[in-house]
Amino acid sequence: MKIFICVAATFLILAILSFSGIIYGTPNLYVHIFYVSGKAEYLRSGENDWERLKAGMNLLSGDSIKTRSGSEVEIGFGGKKENIIHIEPNTHVVIKLKGSEKIELIDGEVFSLVKKLSSDSAFEIRTPTAICGARGTGWGTNANKERTVVSAYENKSYARGFKKDGSLMEEEVVIQEGYQTIVKLFEKPSKLMKISEKDMDKWTTWKQNFSDKVSVREATKERLVQDMRKIQEKQEEIERKRDEDIIDKRDESTTSSSSGSGGQIEEY
């Protein structure tokens, strides 16, 4: 019984850590896969074979993710994994974790929801034509090898284009909330344009769905914590009963020994 309780407790601890996204070494050196819908694959850095991506996994800098038609992925960054990137269908990203750069968007679309950053840091995405990012906001990035669209859904974001030698242009365009810019290859970001109602609704729908999933995950984690408390209480009860039984048996043995010696008279 005690072995079973220990095994169950170990399983629940691992489950809680998995839900928390903190079971893989130094938190800032990996990302946690919170959610996978449909067929998505990952490729470890230095390997050749793509494998099925599953929720609960952790990926390192240099690893890649591909989503197929109808599939989506959500990954968490930072110490508590509170900064989120949502990967849309038919998208290819590479985990970077290099300074401010967190991912490289090869092709496709991602939403970024950044909440927890130090005052002197930023959260950036590299694309074939631009670097875009924010210091605490919600924005979208849609890119291919010819152009990048950066949309500021909440607060502000920014974008910079590349020169032909691969270095960044000096000019940084700040994108106001509700607007977007297009950065074509080797060109400066365009003038700001209003985000379409369709795209804004897409962001709002995703954010609400994500909030619902977070609520479910937190409720599940709370249930696991409660189950863990019950197991601990049960184990403590078993150990307390065991100790009481040992004391009772010791007392019985002492009483029996005293009674046996009291009835004997030695004659000399």
Question: Which tokens sit at 232?
Answer: 């601990």
Lowest mean pLDDT among 110-124, 144-158, 162-176: 110-124
Of the listed ranges 20-24, 148-152, 188-192, the one predicted with least confidence: 20-24
More confident residue, 233 or 1: 233
Q: Answer yes or no: are the C-beta atoms of 42 and 55 closer than 8 Å.
A: no
Q: How far is CA 95 from CA 57, 70, 76, 267, in A?
A: 14, 21, 11, 93
| Separation CA 143–CA 131 (nearest Å) | 11
Using the CB atoms, write b or e for 177-192: b if 16+ within 10 Å: eebbbbbeeeebbbeb
Domains of the chain with CATH codes: 27-211 (2.60.120.1440)
Q: Which two tokens stand for residue 114?
A: 């950044």
pLDDT for res 20: 45
Helix/strand/coil for 262: helix
Mean pLDDT on 49-64: 96
Q: Say how far apart CA 237 and CA 242 lie, in whole Å.
A: 9
**Residue 127 is which amino acid?**
T
Helix (H) or strand (E) holding 207: helix 197-262
User: Tens digits of per-residue pLDDT, 197-219?
Assistant: 999 999 999 999 998 887 665 65
Written as six digits, the tokens of 16 are 């809680």
Q: Is the pLDDT assigned to residue 16 strictly greater than 90?
A: no
Q: Does 114 or 231 have the greater pLDDT score?
A: 114
Residue in the structure block whose two tokens are 């970001």: 189
Q: Which residues contact 68 (CB under 8 A, 6 or more apart)?
A: 38, 39, 40, 41, 89, 90
Residue 4: pLDDT above 90? Answer: no
